[in-house]
Chain A
Amino acid sequence: MEHEVSLDRVYSPSKDIVARDVMGELIIVPLASGIGNTEDEIYTLNETGRAIWDRLDGRTNLREIAKSLAREFDAPPGEIELDIQGLIGELFHRRMVIAV
């Protein structure tokens, strides 16, 4: 699925997955078919991924999320924007997030 991730758009977790916190780790369990390659798979997000995921509230666009993360982690917004685009591209491709 080709999709250009736009920083001006709002993304939210898809209803076809369930995100859970297990012992402090975020895991994504496919709920509906077509996510992941087999029924036996679950997904985890790395730390950066988790920080971004936690801010996907279905209201805030990616640019705003980048700004808040840049402030919180004292990191250059440009770099964070790249990370966000990378993560959202990956999650969108896996059908784990949708563009609102």
Chain B
Amino acid sequence: MTEDFTTQQEIQDFSLWDRMKEKRACYSFTIELTARCNNNCAHCYINLPAGDKEAKERELSVPQIMDIADQAVRLGALWCNITGGEPLIRLDFPEVYLGLKKKGLLVSVMTNATLITRDHIDLFKKYPPRDIEITVYGATRETYETVSRRPGSYDAFMRGLNLLLDAGIKVRLKAMAIHSNLHEIQKIAEFSRAFTKDYYRFDPQLHLRMDHNPARNEEIRRERLTPEEIVRLEQSDGERKNALEKGCDTLIVPDFCKTGCNHLFHCGTGNGDFVVGPDGMFRLCMSLCHPDCVYDLKSGTLEDAWQHFIPKVRDMRTNNQEFLKTCRVCPIINLCLWCPAHADLETGRLDGRVEYFCRVAHARAKALGYTGDQP
């Protein structure tokens, strides 16, 4: 043999990424198959009841999903993430999953694992997912079901998880740190690390609802950890502490606070990936659902959204002086959950300031010993 003809690469090392980035190609997307879920977690930003007829009627059909996937593949997408709500609640999930795989996409699935059946296992064994990401709501039945608010869900979760693990399917576990499970978050970490040695992460910051439901938003606020609880938790987790410290060095960018423009977006939103909601609404990122920032793929094309709509959104500006004097020039913005999308979810304004985020960011800065000027 004169040479090696094929180069095998893990997707993250793929040399095409650089060229794709330069050309603003699309390399991945997330599709929310449904907003419905069989659980009823209080902290959830999207869930609607499993039997919600209107929500079901709004969902994209398989051909509509395949059409969007075809367009994404034409833009270069290599990786797709299927999520929900709970994506397995849709009986046509296997058709969607296999359809996406057959388009030459690496496919990840985010699920609560409670609806995994032997048929799913056969499907995943024959056509392996990139990974299955599962959220662990509690390490004991009591805590799990306090969070999921559905009796029987813990046993269903354990059954689903074990089916996946026994079949050797790549599983990654993660958790949300919230009031209802904070007392056993270490146990959840141990549980998760026992199953996925190389991967476990927890998220202590809850987003508000995409549908702005005030009663549900109140429930989310009640589940939110206090800034002190978040900092204590992060400091006790070696990996997370390191990540924050590293982020603190690299992300507290002097040029961010010194660039004197009034653009709203300074993050990577709309660069390389996108999200499609259950009803076919295109979003630049998961949390950005302000009406001026979404595009209906049922009546337009992905190409148009990618080439014309994204640049328009990214060019949005503000003259709100309060914002321009605070968050816009904030030197600790990288320790903060603040971004236009989250600001909108919290305040109804893309340039709103969020007291809770501010308190978390300052508590983090203090814990990391950051003493620079802070608004």
Contacts and interface: CB of A to CB of B under 8 A. Distances in A.
Are A and B co-members of a single complex?
Answer: yes
Given A22-B76, A23-B20, A39-B130, A44 B104 contact: no
B227 interface: no
- A interface SS class: mixed
For A33, A36, A40, the residue with the greatest tally of chain B CB atoms inside 10 Å of its CB is A40
Interface in A46-61: 46, 48-49, 52
Contacts, number: 106
Interface in B1-46: 1-12, 14-16, 19-20, 23, 25
B5 A41 contact: no
Interface of B: 1-12, 14-16, 19-20, 23, 25, 73, 76, 78, 101-106, 125-131, 170
A39 B128 contact: yes
Given A18-B102, A23-B19, A25-B16, A43 B6 contact: yes
A36 to B, nearest CB: 7
Interface residues of A, number: 37
Interface of A: 18-20, 22-23, 25, 27-33, 36-46, 48-49, 52, 82-83, 85-87, 89-91, 94, 96
A81 B356 CA distance: 68
Given A42-B78, A45-B5, A82-B2, A32 B126 contact: yes
B5 A42 contact: no
Contact of A44 (B7, B76, B103, B130): B7
B170 A39 contact: yes
B101 A31 contact: yes
30 contacts: A20-B73, A22-B76, A22-B78, A23-B16, A27-B16, A28-B6, A29-B78, A29-B104, A29-B106, A39-B106, A39-B128, A39-B131, A40-B131, A41-B9, A41-B10, A42-B8, A42-B14, A43-B6, A43-B7, A44-B6, A45-B5, A48-B3, A48-B5, A49-B5, A49-B6, A52-B5, A86-B3, A86-B5, A87-B5, A96-B6
